[in-house]
Amino acid sequence: MNCLRKAFIVSAIFWLCACTTISPGRTYHAQVISQESSNATANTYSSIQAAIDAAPDGAAEPYRIYIAAGDYYEKLTITKPHIQLVGAGKDKTRVYFDAYAGQEYTAGKTWGTRGSATIIVQAEDVQFHHLTIENSFDFLATDRLYKNDPKKISGAQAVALHLREGSDRVLVRDVKLLGYQDTLFVDAGRAWFDNTSIAGNVDFIFGAGNALFTDSDVITRKRGQQHYPHGYITAPSTQISSPYGLTFINCRLLREAGVPDNSTALGRPWHPTKDFPDGRYADPDAIGKSVFINTMMDAHITQDGWYSMGGTAREGGRKQFIPEDARFFEYQSYGEGAKVNPARRQLDEHQVKSYIRKNVLGDWNP
């Protein structure tokens, strides 16, 4: 089959998907086309996960799943390489689920932060285009309650997208990622988020992975009641051996109505508690890295920019990890929230030259 013919099939199937009416909780059809061979054909499936499961093991070429406009209540896991989920538009196709860390999914077992995600990726060369991925857990309802209220939920972390061990070379383009606490968990491999909107309020972009964000909107959402700090945009746990962590270039830090001025930190250093031969304590090698380059910052960003974070001390109890011991930097931030002071360290013109896509992403050129 020649390239012109193959392109026609892809276009036609996408058109069919876009015209399908979808209702949450009912059977719907995700149109799939595999370009692995010249005999590409279209198949329909009763769920997105079924379409993912039908993909070949160890594929070397893209396996595209076109998803019609509508709301899809599913919790997805991707363990096969080269899966591509393509929606009808980020304001038209929505994949959502409402799991949270403290929720029991079976007797005596809770999701935990790592298991709460609407979509979990554990494979290489996965892509997402033209859709919304949301964790719709009602964080605000529990956030409105005081700590001693018996109705307050313990474990309100609720991830939308989790890139976990086994993931690498993940591309997210023209996508909305929606949640509140812990929206995006980038904990492994390399990922590129381009022309994407990410919304949340507490540590909502976090993890040990190497993630590049370009031309994207990062939106701080409101809280159920007043807090200070209101929230934290990043909480990197980058290993000291990794030269790159969470890198933002030409992005915009925006806010919802109700988010106060001077209330939201650019980030805080996360040292996850792990098991070591001499005990269980905060990982001393998790020297988090967040860098903002040519990024617009609204007035909700705090004047000091960065904040401390607690962790488990080696000798027991708690200790504070201060931002000065992490790798937090800016270069040419602008807007009402942009400040230059000793607390907000700046890259110089020589240092910033290393933050180009081919350096950050290495040999991956999507």
Residues 303, 305: Cα–Cα separation, whole Å: 5
Q: Is the pLDDT of residue 32 over 70?
A: no
Residues 84, 52: Cα–Cα separation, whole Å: 9
Active site residue 182: yes
Q: Which pLDDT band holds residue 139 (cuts at 50, 70, 90)?
A: very high
Looking at 182, 187, 283, 298, which residue is catalytic? 182
| Chain segment 327-337, per-residue pLDDT in tens | 999 999 999 99
How does DSSP assign 281-314, residue by residue? Answer: EE-TTB--EEEEES-EE-TTB-SS-B--EEEE-T
Looking at 168, 203, 283, 298, which residue is catalytic? 203
| Chain segment 297-313, per-residue pLDDT in tens | 999 999 999 999 999 99
What global pTM score does this model have? 0.90
| Chain segment 225-260, per-residue pLDDT in tens | 999 999 999 999 999 999 999 999 999 999 999 999
Active site residue 203: yes
| Chain segment 50-103, per-residue pLDDT in tens | 999 999 898 888 999 999 899 999 999 999 999 999 999 999 999 999 999 999
Cα distances from 91 to residues 3, 36, 178, in angstroms, run 30, 29, 12
pLDDT at 31: 52
Domains along the chain with CATH numbers: 70-360 (2.160.20.10)
| Chain segment 143-201, per-residue pLDDT in tens | 999 999 999 999 999 999 999 999 999 999 999 999 999 999 999 999 999 999 999 99
Q: Is the pLDDT of residue 204 over 60?
A: yes
Look at residues 199, 267, 264 and name the one whose alpha carbon lies nearest to residue 234: 267
In the block, tokens 């290495």 appear at 362
